Amino acid sequence: MRRAVALYGPPASGKDTVTAELLKLDDRFVLYQRLKVGAGRSAGYRLVSPERFRELEEAGEILYRNERYGNVYGIDRQTLDALTVAGCIPVVHIGQAAGLAAMDGFPARWLRVLLWCERVTTERRSAARGDGDTAMRLAVWEETKQDLDLHPDILFDVKIQTDQVAAIDAAQTIHHAAAGATSGDFKFGTKG
Q: Please report whether residue 175 resides in a domain.
A: yes
- Taking residues 111-124, what's their average pLDDT? 96
Task: Work out the pLDDT band at 32, boundaries 50, 70, 90.
Answer: very high
Query: What sign results for the dihedral spanned by CA atoms 114, 178, 80, 163?
Result: positive
Q: How many CB atoms lie within 10 A of CB 135?
A: 10
Least confident of 9-13, 86-90, 188-192: 188-192
pLDDT digits (tens, 9 = 90+) for 143-159: 999 999 998 888 899 99
Residue 46 has pLDDT above 60, yes or no: yes
Local confidence band at 49 (pLDDT 50, 70, 90 cut-offs): very high
Contact 159, 116 (CB under 8 A): yes
Is the pLDDT at 187 greater than 70? The verdict is no
Q: How far apart are CA 161 and CA 153, in angstroms?
A: 19
Question: Average pLDDT for residues 120-128, to the nearest whole number?
Answer: 95
CATH number for 167? 3.40.50.300
Residue 40 DSSP label: S
SS3 73: strand
Let me know if residue 51 belongs to a domain: no
Is there a domain that residue 57 lies in? no
* Residue 53 near residue 74 (C-beta atoms within 8 A): yes
pLDDT of residue 191: 32
pLDDT for residue 181: 45
The predicted pLDDT at position 163 comes to 94
Nearest alpha-carbon partner for 128 in 10, 14, 40, 8: 14
Q: What pLDDT, on a 0 to 100 scale, did the predictor assign at position 44?
A: 87
Residue 127 belongs to domain spanning? 3-34+90-187
| Confidence at residue 192, expressed as pLDDT on a 0 to 100 scale | 33
Is 43 inside a domain boundary?
no
pLDDT tens for each residue of 58-89: 999 999 999 988 899 999 999 999 999 999 99
SS3 labels along 116-162: ECCHHHHHHHHHHCCCCCHHHHHHHHHHHHHHHHHCCCCCCCEEEEC
What pLDDT band is residue 162 in, cutting at 50, 70 and 90? very high
Count of structural domains within the chain: 1
Asked whether residue 171 is domain-assigned, the answer is: yes
The residue-averaged pLDDT of 133-142 equals: 93
In a domain, 144, yes or no: yes
- Whether the predicted model's global pTM rises above the 0.85 cut: yes
What does the pLDDT read at residue 188? 33
Q: How far apart are the first and last CA of the chain?
A: 29
CA atoms within 13 A on the CB side of 2: 15
